[in-house]
Amino acid sequence: MSASPDTPADTLRRLGARLFVRGWLSANNVLFEGGAEDGAAVVDTGYVTHGAQTVALLEHALGARPLTRILNTHLHSDHCGGNAALLRRWPQAHLSVPAGYAPHLRPWDARALGFTDMDQQFEPFEAHGFLVPGTTVRLGLHDWEIHAAPGHDPHAVLLFEPASRTLVSGDALWEGRLAIIFPELVGRSGFEAAQQALDCIERLAPRVVLPGHGEAFTDAAAAIEASRRRLEAFMAAPAKHHQYAARALVTYHLLEHRAVPRADLERWIVETPVLRLAPGERATPQERHEFARETVRRLVADAVVSEENGWIRMAG
Ligand SMILES: [Zn+2]
């Protein structure tokens, strides 16, 4: 008689880990509860405006035990926005971020880190150490391998525990969608790097994936295949990627601001640097406004957002 396969919940229990699936404005958090003497660790910390909520979530899970490590898969605002709040609550905690960001943290360079280009809020923080691909980091009772996962973000890393074949994928692999390939939005290349990150994940052959957004899942092969098909489609028609990114970033903006006058939202699309190339490299101001209007019009038509008295908000 063969044993029934572990569910993601079984694997998490054995790893002493918990996955907190958050809403879209905040990325998921993975908490490693740790043993008696080594404290707890958390991977990714949510969006800055949810800082108090993230602290409360971890306090509730940890009780009197301290949080001793904080790690980020990458420094997007939804993954590192709670760093400062967590460090205020647990001042002894050690913060590690992917090594590629080292030149941009001291002094804090909001533009190089991408916050300015995306027009997203942040609270600066000080890192104490770096996650270097090819090395390991101890989380709870296990050593986790650190792998480079460029594409979505050039400096992103994956964390992989080989015995249970568990992957913390950040935004390099989701179950149902492909994350924006941000370098492509600012005129750099990222599609090939994203393919390589998928190749890396395929070689690791994870049994359980803990993604940056959405529930844990087990069919990594299907997710990789679907991501590859979407990447190929975007590589064949980069304008489609720009449209996809514009929709996703407008949605994110509305999640943050709740309701925005249509004219302000259209102006935001025209002026936000990361969307500047969306209508095309040599687009006229007229074409930029047309692209903004069309993006909002389609989101309304697809019932992703709703409009009432000139105000746009998330539908539902
Ligand atoms: Zn991200």
**Contact assessment for residue 209 and residue 173, using Cβ atoms and an 8 Å cutoff:** yes
- Bridge-partner residues for 80, per DSSP? none
Could you tell me the domains of the chain?
8-236 (3.60.15.10), 238-314 (1.10.10)
Distance 262 CA to ligand 1 centre (A): 26
Could you read off the pLDDT tens digit of each residue along the chain, which spans 316 residues?
455 668 999 999 999 999 999 988 999 999 999 876 678 999 999 999 999 999 999 999 999 899 999 999 999 999 999 999 999 999 999 999 999 999 999 999 999 999 999 998 899 999 999 999 999 999 988 999 999 999 999 999 999 999 999 999 999 999 999 999 999 999 999 999 999 999 999 999 999 999 999 999 999 999 999 999 999 999 999 999 999 999 999 999 999 999 999 999 999 999 999 998 888 888 999 999 999 999 999 999 999 999 999 999 999 8
| pLDDT for residue 77 | 95
Question: How far away, in angstroms, is 82 Cα from ligand 1 center?
Answer: 14
* Strand 166-170 relative to strand 136-139, pairing: unpaired
Closest CA to 27 of 268, 300, 210: 210
Nearest to 183 by CA among 277, 265, 296, 98: 277
Give the pLDDT of residue 1: 47
171 CA to centre of ligand 1 in angstroms? 5
Which pLDDT score, from 0 to 100, does residue 280 have? 87
For residues 183-217, b (16+ Cβ closer than 10 Å) or e, as one string?
Answer: bbbeeeebbebbbebbebbeebebbbbbbbbbebb
What is the 74 CA–ligand 1 centroid distance (Å)?
Answer: 7
* CA of 156 relative to ligand 1 center, distance in Å: 8
Query: Do strands 166-170 and 208-211 pair parallel, antiparallel, or not at all (unpaired)?
Result: parallel
87: number of Cβ within 10 Å: 20
Q: What separation in Å is there between the alpha carbon of 287 and the centre of ligand 1?
A: 28
Q: Are 56 and 111 in contact (CB under 8 A)?
A: no
Distance from the alpha carbon of residue 36 to the mean position of ligand 1, in angstroms: 33
Which bin fits 274, alpha (ψ -120 to 50), beta or left (φ > 0)? alpha
The letter for the amino acid at 190 is G
CA 179 to centroid of ligand 1, rounded, Å: 7
CA of 236 to the centre of ligand 1 (A): 23
What are the φ/ψ torsions at residue 58 (nearest 5 degrees)?
-75, -40
pTM listed for this prediction: 0.95
Q: What is the 76 CA–ligand 1 centroid distance (Å)?
A: 5
Collapsed DSSP state (helix, strand, coil) of residue 37 = coil
Cα atoms found within 13 Å of the Cα of residue 148, Cβ hemisphere only: 14
Q: What is the pLDDT of residue 5?
A: 67
* Token pair of 299 as six digits: 């989101």
Instruction: Provide the token pair at 158.
Output: 């994956």
* Rg of the chain over all Cα atoms, to the nearest angstrom: 20
| CA angle 59–63–67, rounded 5-degree value | 60
